A and B are shown apart, each in its own frame.
Chain A
Amino acid sequence: MGTFKAAFINEVEKIYRKKKVVVAAILSLLAIVMGQLLVTGVNKGFGLITASSTQFPILVLSLLVNTILPLFTALVAIDVFSGEFSHNTMKITLTRPVSRVKLYTAKISAIAFFVLANLLMVMLLSLAVGFIFNSVSLSVFGILRIVLSYIVTLIPVMSFALIIVFLSNVLKSGTTVFFLSIILFIAFNALSLVFPRYANIFITSMFDWYILWNVDTIPLGKLIREFFIMAGYVIMFYTAGYYMFDKKDL
C-alpha cells in the first residue's frame, strides 16, 4: 500500500505541474462567469428568475460536463500515458520499486483525482457565485442535491477516461489519441441522438446521469442499470488497458 500511495502522490504531482491544469481551472472559472452573466442578463432583461442560487450550480454542471470536463480529462489521461511514453520518461517511473499494476492503478487514480478536484472546485465557486448574485433559496436539501450531483458525475466521466487510457496504451501518438477521443465523443453524442433507445450504451449520454439522483423518488432500477453499464465499461477498459500497459516493452 505504501508503494501505491507514493506512486499516486507522484502521479498527482506530475499532473498538477502541467500548464493544462491551470488552463482547465481558468476555463472552468470563465464558464461560471459567463453563465452568471447570461443568467443576470436574461433576468434583468426579461424580468425572470432563470436560475435560483441552488439551480445555478446545476446549470454550470450541465455546461461543464459536456464541454470542458471531458476535453481536459482526455488531455490529462493522454499526458499520463502517451506523454510519458513519447518523452521516454515512463522508464524512469518504472524503475521505481512499484509493480506495474500498482503504477497503472496509481495513474488512473490520479486522473480520477484531477476530475474530482475539477468538479469540486467548480461546485464551490458556482455555489458562491450563485449565492452572491442570485436570489437566495437556501435549503440544506438543495445543497445536498448539488453536492451529490457533482460527485456522481465522476463515474461516467471516468468511464470515458478509461476508454482514452486504453487508446493511449494501444496507439503511440498522443495527438492521434486526442483526435480519436474527440471523434469518439462526437460520434457517441450523435449516435445517442439518432438512436435514443440505445443512448445509454454510448457512455457520453450518461454524463448527465446526475439528474437521476435529483428526482424526488429516485428511480432505483434505472440508476442501478446505468451504474452497471458504466461498471461494465470501467472493468473492460481497465483490464484491456492494463493488458496493453503490462505488455509494453520500453
Chain B
Amino acid sequence: MKKKKNLTMLLSFCIGAALFMSTAFADVVSKTGYDQLKDAIKKTVASVSEEYDSFTMEMALSIKDNDKVLVANSEIARYDMANSRMENITTSELAGSEKESFYSYRDNWCSMYYNSNDADTYYVNEYESEDKDAVTLNNFFEDEDAEYIEKIFDALIGNLKEYVIVGENPEGSKEFSGRLSDGQIPALVNAVTAYAAKQSVFDRTVGYNEFDMPSLKNDVFVKEISGRANVNADGIIENLFGEFILAGSEKDGTKHELKVELVFKVYNINSTAVVKPDLTGKKVEKSIVHTTPYGYVSEKYLGKWKNDIIIEENDRFVKIGERVIEITGINDDYVYGTYTEIYKEEYAHYGSDSKKYSLKVDMYDNKGELEVTDDLGNVIVGYMYLDMGRIECYIPSENPAEDGIVFNSSDDIIYNSSFYKVFEE
C-alpha cells in the first residue's frame, strides 16, 4: 500500500516536471509576433541601407480631426545606390492652404531642388569635389546605443508584446496586425503618451493654428492604437500601416478625435531607376558648394578689414579710432596679414602704447591658431577665423578684459573681435 502511494507520487511529480520542462522549452524557443516584427524591421533597414542596389520607398502621414483632413503629407523616395543617385518627391497639403510639392535630386556631384509654388526655378548646388556619402542610408540599429534603447523599449512595453498577432502564409510571407483600444492601453502608457502629445502640440498653439489644429485642453486620452504590416518571403516589410487616435475636448467643451495615420511602403527592389533631370530650357539658379573646410577661403579675403574702437563717455558711445587688419597673403596652409590701430587725434593718448603686429594664421592643421608677432619680435598666440564675409580675430594682449577685469572704468576701450571688409567706393 505504502509502495503504491509512493509510486503514485513519484509518477505525479514526473508528469509535472515533464509538462514544465517541455512547455518551458517550447516557450523559450518560440518567437512572439512582436519579436518577429522586430526582426523584420531590422532586416528591412539593414537591406535598404546596405544590400539593395535600388529601391523605392513611400511614406505618407495624415492627421484628421473628426474626419476633416488637417494635414496630408506624402513622400516618394527613389534610391539608386549602385549609381549613387536619389530623388525625392514630397507633396504636402495643409487644411486651408494650397497643395505644395517639392522635388529634389542628389548624386555625388550635385543636388537639385524644385518647388511647385516657386516660379518654376530649379535650384542647383554643384559640389566642388565629389561627395561620396551624398547618397547613403544609415542603419541606425548598428549605432552603439541602439541595443540599449531596444532593451529599454522592450522592458517598457512589457506584456503589450502579446498584442502583435502574426499570420503566416504558405509561401513564406507574413501578416502582422495589432490593435489596442482604450480599455487595453495601460494607464501609464496612456497618461504618458497623452501628456506628451498635449505638451508638444496642444499647449503650443503658435505655429500650429495655420492648419486648424484644435487645442485639446481637457480629458485627453489615447483612444486606439493599431497597426498592420506585410512582410514578404525574404523577411522585408513591403508595407506598414499605423493608426493612432487621440481624443479630448477643447476649453469650450467641443469634443475632438484626432486620427493620425501613417503608411510606409518599400517596392521596386533592385528595379528602380533614377534619371538626372534634364534642365535645358529651364530656369536654373546655380551655386557652388565647397566640400572641404575653408574651401571658400580664397583671394577675396585679401585687403583691409576693420572695426571701430569705441569707448563709453558721458553715457554715449564715442568712436576714438579704428582697428585695421590687412590680409596680405593666402596660401594652402597659412593666411598672412598685419594688425594696426589708428586713433583720432584728440584721443591719441589712448593709443600711446598701441602696437603693430604681424599675423600668421594656421588654417587647417590647428584650425585658426594665430601667431601674433609684435615689433620687438615677441610672439603670442591668439585665434583668427575667416568666416563668410567676416573675420573674427582675437589677440589676447589687446583685450582689456583679458585678466578678468571687465570694464572697471567708464573710459576703458570696449573690445570687439569682429572685423568687416573695407570696400573702396
Q: A-side interface residues toward B, CB under 8 Å?
A: 39, 42-43, 46-52, 54-56, 58-59, 62, 135, 137, 142, 145, 193, 196-198, 200-201, 208-209, 211-212, 214-217, 219, 221-222, 225-226, 228-229, 231-240, 242-243, 246
Stretch at the interface among B18-26, B283-291, B310-318: B18-26
Chain A residues lying within 8 Å of B9, measured Cβ to Cβ, are: 239, 242-243
The contact of A234 among B16, B219, B220, by CB within 8 Å, is B16
Given A42-B191, A201-B28, A225-B27, A215 and B16 touching (CB < 8 A)? Answer: no
Chain B residues lying within 8 Å of A215, measured Cβ to Cβ, are: 162-163, 165, 184
Q: Which of B1-48 contact A (CB under 8 A)?
A: 5, 9, 12-13, 15-24, 26-28, 30, 32-33
Cα-based distance from A201 to B221 in the complex (angstroms): 35
Q: How far is the CB of A165 from chain B (nearest CB, A)?
A: 14
Given A54-B183, A214-B184, A225-B27, A47 and B218 touching (CB < 8 A)? Answer: yes
Chain A residues lying within 8 Å of B26, measured Cβ to Cβ, are: 225
Cα-based distance from A246 to B24 in the complex (angstroms): 29
Cα-based distance from A208 to B32 in the complex (angstroms): 17
- Consensus secondary structure, chain A interface: helix
Q: A59-B186, A211-B162 are in contact. List 14 more A-B contacts (CB 8 A).
A: A39-B187, A48-B195, A48-B220, A51-B187, A51-B190, A52-B183, A58-B187, A200-B28, A217-B165, A222-B27, A225-B26, A229-B19, A232-B20, A243-B9
Q: Name A201's closest neighbour in chain B (CB-CB).
A: B24
B16 touches A48 (CB 8 A): no
The contact of B21 among A51, A219, A232, by CB within 8 Å, is A232
B23 touches A229 (CB 8 A): yes
Q: How far is the CB of B190 from chain A (nearest CB, A)?
A: 6
Chain A residues lying within 8 Å of B217, measured Cβ to Cβ, are: 47
The contact of A49 among B19, B20, B27, B219, by CB within 8 Å, is B219
Q: Check: B182 CB closer than 8 A to any chain A CB.
A: yes
B159 touches A229 (CB 8 A): no
The contact of A197 among B21, B28, B182, by CB within 8 Å, is B28
The contact of A235 among B19, B185, B219, by CB within 8 Å, is B19
The contact of B179 among A49, A51, A198, A216, by CB within 8 Å, is A216
Chain B residues lying within 8 Å of A246, measured Cβ to Cβ, are: 5
Cα-based distance from A77 to B339 in the complex (angstroms): 90
Q: Check: B50 CB closer than 8 A to any chain A CB.
A: no
Q: Name B185's closest neighbour in chain A (CB-CB).
A: A55
Chain B residues lying within 8 Å of A135, measured Cβ to Cβ, are: 219
The contact of A48 among B13, B19, B186, B221, by CB within 8 Å, is B221
Q: B-side interface residues toward A, CB under 8 Å?
A: 5, 9, 12-13, 15-24, 26-28, 30, 32-33, 154-155, 158-160, 162-163, 165, 179, 181-187, 190-191, 194-195, 198, 216-221, 248
A200 touches B221 (CB 8 A): no
The contact of B27 among A52, A211, A229, A239, by CB within 8 Å, is A229
The contact of A58 among B32, B183, B191, by CB within 8 Å, is B183
Cα-based distance from A71 to B13 in the complex (angstroms): 27
Chain B residues lying within 8 Å of A237, measured Cβ to Cβ, are: 16
The contact of B182 among A55, A225, A234, by CB within 8 Å, is A55
The contact of A46 among B5, B185, B195, by CB within 8 Å, is B195
Cα-based distance from A145 to B183 in the complex (angstroms): 9
Cα-based distance from A135 to B219 in the complex (angstroms): 9
Chain B residues lying within 8 Å of A240, measured Cβ to Cβ, are: 13
Chain B residues lying within 8 Å of A193, measured Cβ to Cβ, are: 155
Chain A residues lying within 8 Å of B163, measured Cβ to Cβ, are: 215-216
B187 touches A236 (CB 8 A): no
B221 touches A52 (CB 8 A): yes
A48 touches B198 (CB 8 A): yes
Given A46-B198, A51-B187, A239 and B28 touching (CB < 8 A)? Answer: no
B16 touches A200 (CB 8 A): no
Q: How far is the CB of B186 from chain A (nearest CB, A)?
A: 7
Q: How far is the CB of A47 from chain B (nearest CB, A)?
A: 5
Some 6 contacts from A to B, beta carbons below 8 A apart, are A48-B221, A50-B190, A201-B24, A214-B183, A232-B17, A238-B12
Chain B residues lying within 8 Å of A234, measured Cβ to Cβ, are: 16
Q: Name B191's closest neighbour in chain A (CB-CB).
A: A50
Chain B residues lying within 8 Å of A242, measured Cβ to Cβ, are: 9
Q: How far is the CB of A58 from chain B (nearest CB, A)?
A: 7
A236 touches B184 (CB 8 A): no
A222 touches B162 (CB 8 A): yes
Chain B residues lying within 8 Å of A208, measured Cβ to Cβ, are: 158-159
Q: Name A223's closest neighbour in chain B (CB-CB).
A: B162
